[in-house]
Structure 1
């Protein structure tokens, strides 16, 4: 690994992390494509881009791909000169991909430098023939997810060859493995037949090769004698139209195999020479590797941008759903806020209990006289009937508790109805218990009231710092003064001012005047404001906890990782490749000429 490659690899690691973090759990229109791109991008980094950027001069990996029955294994055997692939005999005999390499170069492939998801198995070529019904017919289940490494002296140095599974295999895992191996290759030779060269499946992979600027050769197998030029011309036209004008075509005419199941050496001479020429030219190998990895990097960054867009759409969808829920619970908070400001909590039983505390209507008519010097009588109102004070406190607590629970219940029901009415909300939110307040809400609301009342007691205690004020508060009772403060908080829609009219009637005025006598006008205004703000903060916190039940359903969407962070990682990686990426893609350049482009085997 060169020092020059370190910044690129560090940026690539960051990009890979952000790709992994780009959560796409919502089934939106673009999600399936984005998930496929995400899986490809991460695997392409691991299997090819990272190891190739780490060492451009490591041996090249050539992959033989093709459709079922195209004859690629037979062609690989012919290149090597012995039956080492699945049509021949190899120990262990499996349907696993077989990687053939030159002697002394096994170290490049024995580690997870490339294809880290596949374990390694060392195979041995026996160079003997098994009946076709036995060769590779029964895969060893323990070897699934592995690649078999075989050293062979017929493989030239600086290049290795993989015989991949069929790209159109009936087994999903075989098709996936074939695609993975082709994506990890520096160059392909693609085997097709005169009857199937126009099939859609091979061209999907050849189109991918064009987007990655990978060096590709096409082996046109089983061509009827005399039809070589016509079919090859048509194939080359298609290659040109699909962005692969320089791909060499090697033609092998239809012919019988020998007694070992082998093609004659002359049938693959052109292909063998092409691979040998590449292997022998270090400058051309280096340039081929550079072009291919840059082509893959271009495709990687393009797909990563698409994934970033898809991630943004996921987040916006989640935000839209959460905004609906937040709006409903914000309305619920407003409902509680209004109920604790407009005097409705002081109606009915609360008002009656409070009137029992402060006295008869004569007391209201004599309020000015009371203010001027009837503290002892006021003290009697409170201290003479402690049970009544507790009843007022309990009734207020019950009323506020009911308001909170009712508002939370309405918010839950409305949130459920609205999000389930959206296209994506129906799939995201499936827990029907979200349509109701949480099971713990009753206890949470009761605890809120107790904690708020305790805070009010402490607020009154702190305000009564002076000895005289403290003595007066203690003579009336902390609970009594606290209840008076609660009455004032619940009685008015605006702060306490001298000229304001209390909505709940003269009873609240008595509480206000009592507090003013103890603490003064300005202090009472501050006490009421602090008490009201503290209550709203507690209610808001409670309702936020209720709405978080919906947030939990969206947690997979809102997990770390955003489109912007991914775009930043893309830009960082591109910056490390700026000079190379500024060069025209390989598809716009004429590649080095590697030997003959057409080989006709002996006619039958």
Structure 2
């Protein structure tokens, strides 16, 4: 009977921690993918680049490495234009596998060299999932380095050539990347993407370019991520080796890269195949072989680079959280401008409906037609009953004048709402165009006027308000006595009177502007009180005014929404979510 081995508690705990880390990272990746930075604020392009790079770092390196901690190390060979990267890669395997030459850029399609048995680790989408795979096996035939590989077209930039070669030590893959300072934007971006996916950097520079700014920016990034770096100082005249090497080592120490391995390749004449002398690449080859043979050492490099990448990602997320917070603040400011402008317009409309301004011109003329001549006003206080009979007879015989009052009120109120809505739109448009973010949201669209069909919507809303007002009068007059009274005056006549009362309020429900249009409001007030009583009139006027307020607000909110629709509604809370992930990943890196 075969004895059963007990599970390793330490290994089980490690697997559980890795699984939890993957869950945290996948959650962060989901929220990053859903992050939107829509407003054109200062520095937003850089923030969007940081966002894309954070997602790419998770996809290309952090998540694949956490899921496969025992996978081979990926050593990316990077450096400046003409530094000799491809020539060095050819030297590491002992024959031409990647194109080298004077025409720049030579490396446009990345080539990943691996031991044949390591192919399963790379033929899928485990790392660099955005690049398609082109698999190949090296044969014994060789061609000069100037003709090695292919001369790829533009589509080749999105593919990764996999070449199995027994000369590559098992456990380490070598990826020849484009120039970090290439004249091609696509090449530079791809180089940055590949370096971000590396467990190990082999950075190639030359004796006369080792202090260039572009490669040092990348090296400083490597130092901040605690990535293992091997520096190859290429084309060094033997006489200058000591001086140049010492100066480079001092620079590396000053920038936190004192642990970096430094390999010197002397200036040498290439053979007919475009190859360096065999001994030129031997120190680096030997270092890679020793590293491949040391499983614990490889695991240590992978974990250290992974931990540094997670720490750097946490810092990047903190910066993105700050940028998202700036977006929230800018969106809130734009939203407030639109809301304030239209709220002020609502207030101005309501002011115009209660200060007697509408009781002039056409409305006044139709109302006077309705109630009679000036003699009617003179006799008003002398005999309310006679006034009621006279007006009632007028109502019963000719209902048309009451409808004309409603129509005049509709027309006057519509003009006020149209004018104030246009003012609000002009104000919002002007404020937004004074702000780069608002200007970008508006683009070439002109929102400074009323929307299409807005006059018709106003008319419909006013008519609906008038209809509800009539229903209020019907409901209030349900008692037999009141019903007889409002029937004698006519529903339209009482409705017109109530509208006149609503439009003459200068101090809520307690004040009537008696002098407006020669006592216009008094007539309506007395009519309604004769039918319903004073308290009921106050209640009816309050309800009618509140309904009008609500409808005006609804109309202006719809106009305001044209602006607010330009603001993304999906960004709320993004800053807090990103800050939360930043804290979580920082703790994850600290535990590691």
Using structure 1 for the length normalisation, give the TM-score.
0.88
Match of 2:256 among 238, 243, 268: 243
Cα distance in 2 for partners of 1:278, 1:471 equals: 106
Matched, 1:307 2:320: yes
* 1:423 to 1:172, Cα distance in 2 relative to 1, 3 A: closer
Change (3 A) 1:462 1:130: farther
CA contact (8 A) 2:100 2:146 kept: no
Report which stretch shifted further, 181-190 or 507-516.
Answer: 507-516
Match of 2:579 in 1: 567
1:208-223 aligned at under 5 Å gives the runs 208-223=221-236
More RCO (CA 8 Å, sep 6+): 1
Give the deviation of 1:458 after TM superposition: 2.6
Q: Choose which of 334, 348, 351 in structure 1 pairs with 2:347.
A: 334
Where structure 2 has 5 or more consecutive residues not aligned to the other structure, the ranges are 1-13
How many residue pairs match? The answer is 575
Describe the SS at the equivalent of 1:100.
strand
1:188-227 map, 5 Å: 188-227=201-240
1:412 corresponds to:
425
| Structure 1 pair 535–281 and aligned structure 2 pair: CA distance change class (3 A) | same
**What is the deviation of 1:574?**
3.4
Contact kept in structure 2, 1:491 and 1:504, CA below 8 Å: no
Task: From the superposition, tell whether residues 384 and 495 of structure 1 become closer, same or farther in structure 2 (CA, over 3 Å).
Answer: farther
Residue-by-residue CA offset, 1:195-243 (whole Å, 9 max, x unaligned): 2212222112111111111000001111112322211111111111111
* Deviation (angstroms), 1:63: 0.5
Quick check: 1:188–1:216 contact (8 Å CA) kept in 2?
Answer: yes
CA 1:374–1:170 in structure 2 vs 1: closer, same or farther (change >3 Å)?
A: closer
Question: Is the contact between residue 2 and residue 55 of structure 1 (CA under 8 Å) also seen in structure 2?
Answer: no
CA distance in 2 between partners of 1:297 and 1:321 (Å) = 36
- SS of the residue 2:134 aligns to: strand
One of 75, 79, 85 as aligned partner of 2:98: 85
Give the distance between the partners of 1:418 and 1:549, measured in 2 at CA. 15
488-497 vs 158-167, which deviates more? 488-497
Equivalences for residues 366-381 of structure 1 within 5 A = 366-367=379-380, 370-371=383-384, 375-381=388-394
Say whether 1:147 aligns with 2:174.
Answer: no
Q: Is the 8 A contact 2:96 2:143 kept in 1?
A: no
Alignment root-mean-square deviation, CA: 2.6
Change in CA separation of 1:569 and 1:367 when aligned onto 2, cut-off 3 Å: farther
1:3 aligned residue: 16
Is the CA contact (8 Å cut-off) linking 2:60 and 2:127 kept in structure 1?
yes
Of the three residues 489, 496, 509, the one matched with 2:502 is 489
Say if 1:520 and 1:58 are closer, same or farther in 2 by CA, change over 3 A: farther
CA distance in 2, matches of 1:328, 1:179: 47
Whether 1:402 aligns to 2:415 is yes
Q: CA deviation at 1:260?
A: 3.3
Task: Find the aligned partners of 1:155 and 1:117 in 2 and give their Cα distance.
Answer: 25
2:246 paired with 1:233: yes
Task: Tell me the alpha carbon deviations over residues 95-139 of structure 1, each in whole angstroms, 9 at most, x when there is no partner.
Answer: 421111223222211221111111111122134333455334621
Cα pair 1:94 1:139 within 8 Å, conserved? no
Residue in structure 2 matching 1:298, options 302, 308, 311: 311
Structure 1 residues 380 and 59: CA distance shift in structure 2, 3 A: same
For the 8 Å contact 1:496–1:524, the answer to whether it is kept is no
> Hey, what's the Cα distance between the residues in 1 that align with 2:165 and 2:218?
28
Q: Aligned runs of 1:63-102 on 2, under 5 Å?
A: 63-87=76-100, 95-102=108-115
Provide closer, same or farther for how the CA distance between residues 70 and 493 of structure 1 changes in structure 2, counting only shifts above 3 A.
Answer: same
Cα contact 2:77–2:177 (8 A) shared by 1:
yes
CA shift in 2, pair 1:565/1:94, >3 Å: closer
In structure 1, the residue matched to 2:44 is 31
Q: Is the 8 A contact 1:87 1:136 kept in 2?
A: no
CA distance in 1, matches of 2:585, 2:471: 58
| Contact 2:506–2:513 (CA under 8 A) maintained in structure 1 | no
Q: Report if the CA contact (8 A) 2:236-2:266 is conserved.
A: yes
Contact 1:94 1:138 in 2 (8 A): no
Secondary structure of 1:209's aligned partner: helix
**Equivalent-residue separation in structure 1 for 2:66 and 2:145 (angstroms):** 41
1:10-59 deviation digits (Å, cap 9, x = unpaired): 22223223333332233332223212211211111111111112232222
* 1:331 shift after superposition: 2.1
Match of 1:176 in 2: 189
Residues 133 and 278 from structure 1, CA distance in 2 versus in 1: closer, same or farther, beyond 3 angstroms? closer
Q: Residues 49-86 of structure 1: CA distance to partner in whole angstroms, max 9, x if unpaired?
A: 11112232222111111222222222222222232222
Distance 1:431 1:95, change over 3 A: closer
Q: What is the CA-CA distance between 1:369 and the residue it aligns to?
A: 5.8
CA deviation map 1:275-294 (0-9, x unaligned) = 22222222222221121112
Unaligned runs of at least 5 residues, structure 1: 581-604
Structure 2 contact 310–585 (Cα < 8 Å) conserved = no
In the TM superposition, residue 426 of structure 1 has moved relative to its aligned partner by 4.0
Q: SS state of the match for residue 219, structure 1?
A: strand
Secondary structure at the counterpart of residue 446 of structure 2: helix
Is 1:462 matched up with 2:491?
no
Q: For 1:77 and 1:101, how far apart are their aligned partners in 2?
A: 13
SS, match of residue 62 in structure 1: strand
1:541-580 equivalent positions in 2, closer than 5 A: 541-555=554-568, 559-560=571-572, 562-580=574-592
Name the CA distance, whole Å, in 2 between partners of 1:102 and 1:501: 100
- Comparing 493-502 with 49-58, which one deviates more in the overlay? 493-502
